[in-house]
Amino acid sequence: MEVVSLPTPSLDSSPIAFYPHFPPTPPIQDFDEFEKPGFVLPTYVDGSTRLYPLPPTPRAAKVLPEDLKTPDNHVERDPRLIRLTGVHPFNVEAPLSDLYDEGFLTTKDLHYVRNHGAVPRVEDAEVLDWEFTIEGMVSNPIKLTLRELIQTYDQVTYPITLVCAGNRRKEQNIVRKTKGFSWGAAGVSTALWTGVALPDLLARAMPTRGAKYVCFEGADKLPNGYYGTSVKLNWAQDPDRGMMVAHGMNGEPLHPDHGKPLRIVIPGQIGGRSVKWLKRIIVTAAPSDNWYHIYDNRVLPMMISPEDSANLPDTWKDERYAIYDLNTNSAICYPAHGETVPLTGGGGGAVETYKLKGYAYAGGGKRVTRLEVTLDQGRTWMLAPVSYPEDLYRLAPDGEVLFGGRLDMAWRESCFCWCFWEIDLPLSRLQEAGDVMIRAMDDSMMVQPRDMYWSVLGMMNNPWYRVVIHKEAHSLRFEHPTQPALMPGGWMERVKKEGGNITNGFWGEKMAGEDAAPAQEEPAKEISMVDEKVTRTITVDEFREHSSDDRPWFVVNGQVYDGTKFLDAHPGGATSITNAAGQDISEEFLAIHSENAKAMMPTYHIGTLPLSTTPFSLSLSPSEEPTSPSTRVFLHPKTWRKALLSQKSPISPDTKIFTFSLPASQSQSVGLPVGQHLLIRLRDPVTREAVIRAYTPLPEDDSGGALRVLIKVYKEGKMTRGLDSLPLGHAVEFKGPVGKFEYLGGGRCSVNGKGRRVRRFVMVCGGSGITPVFAVLGAVVKEYAASNDSSGDGEAPPPECVVLDGNRVEGDILLREELGRMEREGGGRCRVVYTLSQPDEGWTGLRGRMDRGLFEREVGAPPEERDTMVLVCGPEGMERGAREAFLGMGWAEEDLLFF
């Protein structure tokens, strides 16, 4: 037979034309002798049958409107892709039918994308000068440009299927919300990848004795550092594993979403190991310590909840739970979700059939050896013919070159790719069945499980794939388990809404002995935050005109609200509203506010922004932007700023002081007025969901450059456990100040902008509620010394202070040593009283909860001059009890301030 080899791309050609879209003359051969049941050889318009599949023609793409206001405004994309995490970052899958219809090879247009952040921008003229290194435990460290990689090393081309470890996660999220976003069944794609075999590069670098892992790091700068991960060195050195450093995809340079200009591609393992925008290869003795290697792509034990996982750093670091090889999986692509098939009579007595079709894959080089179909929920099974288009590449002759790389497949037994299955079933049998389910098995006899293994990240979901069959008047309608992202639909969602238990082992169906009527779930209470009578559309320019502190308009979910009437009444103080002026605060509002607060919103609703408006179009102009984070004051009321976690200091079994280094080090102060708070924002590394809470940091010391926050780590606390799980060096976001109270000094205070002079503070606190009290007390105690040094100058003396600190046991008392020091420095004007609700026998202080009897003994009735303020901060029950007690003792509401 005659085989025409494809040309090697010329380095003299422009980078954008580095690869031809298609070879000019495809190899042609008669393959009748090789055909097997289920094989479909690709046939083209000239009627020829090619030796192996070539990529479909890609579509012309452009930058989409939704990307124009994001950091990805340079990336051209296909509008058919389904966005799983909103507009940005870009995490997408194709519609399942479109993906299947493209065939064995997926164009860059429909190939799934998993991006953790912005796509690095690399201009075409810079592609060949892109540098990466091979370093670490090697005798011969290497630095190469892409040009040198192509000129110096043999190039290979392999067909490889990549699969996101979250493929089919939406099914897990229906059962119970995981920490991952909702992939459908199209988080899988196949392409022809061209590059250099990783074993060749490692052999040149010469790993040293003791090296066991290869780490990869990309150029995508993320909140938790650059994305990176690792695999075992012996895998990376094994040619049969097929790992490569790739620079081409389907005969073209890499698309930006797929790693332009250079990436790792690892067959048979989860896509999260195939690092894009490759900059570093590091040979090490231990697995990667990269944040994303530790806190992503893991299957934790089923009993660990998302809340529990936040406080289990050792569990996350346990390599036994890290995912490498894919598990065996499959899906039904046809019939599609919602597809209907008419039940009309066939002519000539022929039996009418429907052809079910789908895909399957395995991991670690294993081959899918069977695909089984059941119409009676697993009592009986049928074998479906399976085709392996990957095998066609093995038939290419030695030395075959495709897209500039040797098609080095003939000798390999390892399977790098997905396969396809089909089965014709009589419509009469489908009409009798309630559902159709499939399962695949690989050559190690591992078969897909019947039931789901739920885990906190929702990865590697591979139970039997079930499509429900609905009988309608003259047709059959098919219903898949879920639809991706937030798209409604699927039998799992329907059954759960109807009150069925989808984890009962029978897909939510009622079994003998169960109640005949399903227990209906109480529908979620929808709180409307809009006034339905308001129909006004507000332009961006009009909105910006009302972005001042005295005319504070703000946006939540595309709706405009006027906070002017609520400035005095807001529980968090007027600054909470003025800081929001001119901002889209959807994320912050929804993360912080209660259902009661949301129910109040229609009162302040004044209009709607145009649909095309994004948060970016509301951004401040360059002249209005706040100053750089390197300025003298760290905090800014309208801008989130980052500081690095530098220390965790335990001060009790469940409480720590978290220290953050400010960007400008010792030249920078926090910039927080006494008595006010700041906001801390964390993001879930997978879902990017924001968690925002308000805290009062500890007072700054004289050296500056650091922010210290005392935090009690609660078992169910998203923020506190999230902070506790962060590694040192991790960036955390802050914004502020916020709060309605400020201590100005000399007994002068400001409450919601109104001045007040105080001669005595009563500070009631419990647990970590000591922090705002501690800040005010510290400022007052400093004034004691200053007033002693400058007595007789006519100024009013600082206020007296009494601190009532209630806790459960003695070990729960926080900052006790510091409070004792302040009491001593107060010279009799500062008194600290402790009471314990569950003291041990050795406790000599007060016993019991903080109640009216305690307040009457230690504080007494309100003074006639109303020059005393009660500051309260603690658990909700304690604050509620304190309010009732003081009001019952005759204190006025305006004399009580709750932090």
Please report whether residue 506 resides in a domain: no
Six token digits for residue 406:
């040797």
Mean pLDDT of 113-119: 95
Residue 525 within any structural domain of the chain: no
> What was the pLDDT predicted at 601?
83
**Does 4 fall in a domain?**
no
The residue-averaged pLDDT of 544-549 equals 72
Has residue 349 got a pLDDT over 80?
Answer: no
Residue matched to tokens 């124009």? 68
Is the same domain home to 828 and 867? yes
Each residue of 864-873: pLDDT tens digit? 888 899 999 8
Cα 162 off chain centre by: 20
- pLDDT on residue 31: 32
Q: Which of 72, 296, 442, 895 is an active site residue?
A: 296
**Phi and psi torsions of 423, nearest 5°:** -155, 135
Chain centroid to Cα 314, Å, comes to 20
How many angstroms separate the Cα of 273 from the Cα of each of 190, 695, 725?
Answer: 16, 37, 23
% pLDDT > 90, the chain? 49
Residues whose CB falls within 8 Å of the CB of residue 286, separated by 6 or more in sequence, listed in order: 212, 213
**pLDDT score, position 575:** 65
Distance between CA atoms of 337 and 737, rounded to whole angstroms? 50
User: What pLDDT is stored for residue 9 in this prediction?
Assistant: 38
CATH for 105: 3.90.420.10
Section 124-131 average pLDDT: 96
Residue type, position 219, single letter: A
Amino acid residing at 323: I
Question: Which stretches within 340-465 are classed as H helix?
Answer: 390-394, 427-432
pLDDT of 442 over the 80 cut: yes
* pLDDT interval class at 683 (50, 70, 90): confident
Q: Residue for token digits 């009527």?
A: 517
Render pLDDT for 304-325 as a digit per residue (tens, 0 to 9): 988 788 788 899 999 999 999 9
501 is catalytic: no
Domain that holds residue 721: 631-739
Q: Which of 452-461, 568-577, 730-739, 813-822 comes out lowest in average pLDDT?
A: 568-577
Tell whether 195 and 255 lie within a shared domain: yes
On whether both 289 and 354 belong to a single domain, the answer is: no
Within this chain, do residues 599 and 643 fall inside the same structural domain, yes or no? no
CA distance 877 to 806: 12
Number of Cβ within a 10 Å radius of residue 139: 8
Q: Where does a domain end: 288, 321, 354?
A: 321
Edge-to-edge strand ranges of the sheet holding 340-342: 340-342, 475-479, 465-471, 435-442, 368-374, 382-383
Instruction: For residue 512, tell me if it sits in a domain.
Output: no
Is residue 596 very low, low, confident or very high in pLDDT (cuts 50, 70, 90)? low
Beta strand ranges found along 291-352 (DSSP E): 329-334, 340-342
Is residue 164 a known part of a binding site? yes
In degrees to the nearest 10, what's the CA dihedral of 545, 549, 553, 558? Answer: 100
Most confidently predicted of 235-239, 310-314, 614-618? 235-239
Residue 135: per-residue pLDDT: 97
Helix (H) or strand (E) holding 652: strand 641-652
Contact indicator for 460, 298 with CB cutoff of 8 Å:
no
pLDDT of amino acid 639: 83
Q: Are residues 475 and 391 in the same domain?
A: yes
Q: What is the pLDDT of residue 312?
A: 86
Mean pLDDT of 419-446: 96
Element spanning 354, H or E: strand 353-361
The pLDDT of residue 230 = 97
CATH code of residue 664: 2.40.30.10
Maximum mean pLDDT: which of 307-316, 430-439, 588-597, 635-644 = 430-439
100 and 244 belong to one structural domain: yes
Burial of 784 by CB count in 10 Å (0-12 exposed, 13-18 middle, 19+ buried)? buried
- pLDDT-derived band at 159 (thresholds 50, 70, 90) equals very high
By C-alpha distance, which of 682, 856, 767 is closest to 295?
682
Average pLDDT for the chain: 85
319-356: burial string, b at 16+ Cβ within 10 Å, e else: eebbbbbbbbbbbbbbbbbebebebeeeeeeeeeebeb
688: pLDDT strictly greater than 70: no
In DSSP notation, 114-161 reads: E-SSPPPP--GGGGGG-EEEEEESBSS-EEEEHHHHHHHS--EEEEEE
- What pLDDT, on the 0 to 100 scale, is given for residue 276? 98
CA distances from 277 to 133, 304, 572 (A): 12, 33, 44
Q: Tell me, yes or no, whether 638 and 562 share the same domain.
A: no
How many angstroms separate the CA atoms of 485 and 488, rounded? 9
247 or 791: which leads in pLDDT = 247
CB of 855 closer than 8 Å to CB of 885? yes
3-state SS, residue 528 = coil
Specify the CATH number for the domain of residue 464: 2.60.40.650
For residue 267, say if its preceding peptide bond is cis, omega within 30 degrees of 0.
no
Top pLDDT among 837 and 796 is at 837
| pLDDT on residue 636 | 86
Residue bearing tokens 């059939």: 353
| Catalytic residue (one of 72, 91, 115, 164) | 164
> Same domain, yes or no, for 764 and 734?
no
- Tell me if residue 296 is catalytic: yes
Residue 559 lies in a domain: yes
Q: Is residue 266 part of a domain?
A: yes
User: Alpha-carbon torsion 217, 222, 224, 225, what sign?
Assistant: positive
Q: Which helix (H) or strand (E) holds 313?
A: helix 313-316
DSSP bridge pairs for 706: 661
Please write the tens of the pLDDT for every residue from 360-400. Answer: 999 999 999 999 999 999 999 999 999 999 999 999 888 89
Choose from 40-44, 497-501, 573-577 the range with maximum mean pLDDT.
497-501
pLDDT tier, 190 (very low <50, low <70, confident <90, very high otherwise): very high
pLDDT at 440 over 90: yes
More confident residue, 177 or 716: 177
772 vs 894: CA distance, rounded Å: 19
Contact between 529 and 509 (Cβ < 8 Å): no
Residue 83's CB: how many other CB atoms inside 10 A? 20
Q: Are residues 96 and 68 in the same domain?
A: yes
Q: Decide which of 472, 497, 522 is a domain's last residue.
A: 497
Give the CATH number, domain containing residue 795: 3.40.50.80
Specify the pLDDT at position 435.
97
pLDDT exceeds cutoff 80 at 512: no
157 assigned to some structural domain:
yes
Residues near 30 by Cβ (< 8 Å), separated by ≥ 6? 49
Is residue 511, in this structure, part of any structural domain at all?
A: no
Q: Are residues 635 and 668 in the same domain?
A: yes
The answer to whether residues 151 and 290 belong to one domain is yes
Question: Which residue in 138, 153, 145 sits closest to 194, CA to CA?
Answer: 153
Active-site residue, 417 included: no
Q: Please state which of the ranges 125-139, 386-400, 705-719 shows the lowest mean pLDDT.
A: 705-719
Structural domains in the chain (count) = 5
Is the Cα torsion angle 431, 432, 436, 438 positive or negative in sign?
negative
Confidence of residue 571 (pLDDT cuts 50, 70, 90): low
Lowest mean pLDDT among 218-222, 419-423, 862-866, 880-884: 862-866
Distance in angstroms (rounded) separating the CA atoms of residues 704 and 668? 6
Of 293, 321, 349, the domain-final residue: 321
pLDDT at 131 over 70: yes
Per-residue confidence band for 24, with pLDDT thresholds at 50, 70 and 90? very low
**257 DSSP β-pair partners:** none
pLDDT digits (tens, 9 = 90+) for 626-647: 444 446 888 888 888 888 999 9
pLDDT at 356 over 80: yes
Mean pLDDT is highest, among 476-485, 566-575, 877-886, for 476-485
DSSP secondary structure string for all residues of 731-797: EEEEEEEE-SEEEEETTEEEETTEEEE-SEEEEEEEGGGHHHHHHHHHHHHHHHHHHHHTTTSSPPP
How far apart are alpha carbons 223 and 589 in whole angstroms?
A: 22
Q: Are residues 304 and 273 in the same domain?
A: yes
